[in-house]
Chain A
């Protein structure tokens, strides 16, 4: 990360007026918390939280050959991606390492791609290099992005956007929200039902006001965003994922579509397809840590002799489980439910066991799930 002063996002003044504590993140001043991480976390799990994620990169990939071009850098099968549907995917390097994780939506004659804030510049350069000359990558800097997450998000948003409840998980469409054109998808990063809402930056303050006027909704900071995604077992780029791990090591094999496994044709395909069949040396798992003290990113996974055999990539205290949880890369032989894992942090030993993720069940509004 550079030492450049943190840039202000479109909602900066709104956050400050709401009492947020602002911190530098991904080159921007971002709200880490308002009333407190624990309260905000629990509010999101029981009601609805509004997150400003305008630091993320919103891209349009358009032009003849956009679909094939994107398939040359992503392991997704875009040929079966229907209009308005979105998919989680990975931008891959030639050695199979992960350059970024992203959401890709088919939207009319183009693809709408949302990438991480800290990596967006590099992603854009990589896409421009790799995509055929007829394909244009437009960084929509004029768009802001909000996420409304939680079991009551649908009640709050439906009041402002009739019909939005028709969307199922991983579907999206164009709507009007208080007179503002909004692209809304039913997706998010908390494990809860919820929506991601792209609106013009020039109108985002009024949209944020409208949303937080709903009794179910409170603004939520980055701190709770991190603890929520950790409980949901969702990896964070730059921490749980980076260029040194492949999708299979990261246990994201689901992101490599069936047709692409058969056909290849994406960066690192030989290695990744080989790993699907033959396995990997290490694998990302979820850990339940004994005691109450959190084990953080950077803690070592050690063997019986104290040798480092893996590393914790995210760790913290789960507000819902009231216990420390973590994600770590461990030797594949230990990547089985119930396996005992020993961790070392600042000279202290911790015991943990491998548990399935998510740590807290997802509550997405899946189509046909019934209610």
Chain B
């Protein structure tokens, strides 16, 4: 399993040709109390950098982008009932969606955990 990060504050955990995507703990801290999450449904095709999900805090709506291209396998059903999972467990139970990678080569342009930490610290 490999873990990557984006400048848009998403994380992507890859195992074989499937991956789980969420937003980082840093991002949830910036957004504040999350009250609604809209995740893509299975079968949706998402393109790298394209809008894939919406996350709404008390004060604002934010788009979540697909870190890589692929077909959505599943949106996290738990977020519908309890969107605050993103606040309490952003990088585990608060995952947004799983997808099948269409171009694993896209992973090479993403950040490692150390690179992302340095990036987030500079924000």
Docked pose: A14 CA to B78 CA in angstroms: 40
By the criterion CB–CB under 8 Å, are A317 and B32 in contact? no
Supposing A37-B59, A38-B58 touch, asked if A292 and B33 sit within 8 A by C-beta, the answer is no
- Contact between B32 and A293, CB atoms less than 8 A apart: no
Size class of the A contact interface (CB-based, 8 Å): 10 to 19
Chain A residues, CB < 8 A from B59:
32, 37, 223, 226-227, 316
Interface membership of A294, Cβ < 8 A: yes
- Interface residue? A44 (CB, 8 A): no
CA distance A292 to B81 in the complex (A): 10
Chain B residue total in the interface (Cβ 8 A)? 13
Q: CB within 8 Å of A: which of B53-81? A: 54, 56-61
Within 8 A of A (CB), among B31-64: 32-33, 35-36, 38, 54, 56-61
Q: Which residues of B contact A279 (CB under 8 A)?
A: none
Closest residue of B by beta carbon distance from A322: B35
- Whether B22 sits at the interface, judged by CB under 8 Å, is no
A296 within 8 A of B: yes
Q: What residues of A have a CB within 8 angstroms of the CB of B60 in the complex?
A: 296
From B32, B36, B58, B61, give the contact of A292 (CB < 8 A).
B36
Checking B38, B54, B58, B83 against A316 with a beta-carbon cut-off of 8 angstroms, the contacting residue is B58
User: A292-B83, A294-B36 known; A319 and B58 CB under 8 Å?
Assistant: yes
Contacts of B35 in A (CB 8 A): 292, 294, 317
Looking across the interface, which residue of chain A has its beta carbon closest to that of B58? A37
- Distance to closest chain A CB from B32 (angstroms): 6
Interfacial chain B residues near A296, Cβ < 8 Å: 60-61
**Shortest beta-carbon distance, B16 to chain A, in Å?**
34
Closest residue of A by beta carbon distance from B57? A37
Which residues does chain A contribute within 8 Å of B54, judged by CB atoms?
293
Contacting residues, chain A, for B38 (C-beta < 8 A)? 293
Q: Does A54 contact B (CB under 8 A)?
A: no
Question: Distance (Å) between the CB of A52 and the closest chain B CB?
Answer: 18
Interface centre among B33, B36, B38, B57 (most CB of A within 10 A): B33
Tell me the complex Cα distance, A94–B54, Å: 43
- Which A37-90 residues have C-beta < 8 A from chain B? 37-39, 41
CB A150 to nearest CB in B, in angstroms, measures: 18
| Chain A residues with CB under 8 A of B58 | 37-38, 41, 223, 227, 316-317, 319
Asked whether any CB of chain B lies closer than 8 Å to the CB of A19, the reply is no
Q: Say yes or no for A36: interface residue by CB 8 A criterion.
A: yes
How many Å lie between the Cα of A47 and that of B17 in the bound state? 52
Contacts of B56 in A (CB 8 A): 293-294, 317
The answer to whether the Cβ of A198 comes within 8 Å of any Cβ in the partner chain is no
B33 touches A37 (CB 8 A): yes
Q: Report the separation of the CA atoms of residues A351 and B33 in the bound assembly, to the nearest whole angstrom.
A: 24
Cα separation A199 to B32 with both chains bound (whole Å): 32
**A38→B38 CA distance, assembly (Å):** 20
Chain B contacts for A226, CB-based, 8 A: 59
Taken together as a complex, chains A and B put the C-alpha atoms of A227 and B56 apart, in Å, by 14
Residue with the greatest number of chain A CB neighbours at <10 A, chosen from B32, B35, B58: B58
A33 at the interface (CB under 8 A from B): yes
The answer, among A32, A36, A37, A294, for a CB contact under 8 Å with B61, is A294
Give the CA-CA distance A157 to B61 in the complex, in Å.
37
Chain B residues near A324 (CB-CB < 8 A): 36
Q: How far is the CA of A21 from the CA of B59 in the complex (A)?
A: 14
Q: Judging by beta carbons under 8 Å apart, are B33 and A38 in contact?
A: yes
Complex Cα gap A37–B33 (Å): 7
Contact with B along A98-119 (1 / 0, CB 8 A): 0000000000000000000000
Within the assembled complex, what's the spacing in Å between the Cα atoms of A364 and B28? Answer: 35
Question: Which of chain B's residues has its CB closest to A296's CB?
Answer: B61
Task: Encode A289-313 as 1/0 by CB contact (under 8 A) with B.
Answer: 0001110100000000000000000
Interface mask (A322-334 → B, CB under 8 Å = 1, otherwise 0): 0010000000000
Closest chain A residue to B51 by CB distance? A346
25 pairs, CB–CB < 8 Å, chain A vs chain B: A32-B59, A33-B32, A36-B33, A37-B32, A37-B33, A37-B57, A37-B58, A38-B32, A38-B33, A38-B58, A39-B33, A41-B58, A223-B58, A223-B59, A226-B59, A292-B35, A293-B54, A293-B56, A294-B36, A294-B61, A296-B61, A316-B58, A317-B36, A317-B58, A324-B36
Closest 5 CB pairs of A and B: A38-B33, A317-B35, A37-B58, A293-B36, A292-B36
With A37-B33, A293-B54, A294-B36 known, 9 other A-B pairs at CB within 8 A are A32-B59, A38-B32, A39-B33, A223-B58, A292-B83, A293-B56, A317-B35, A319-B58, A324-B36
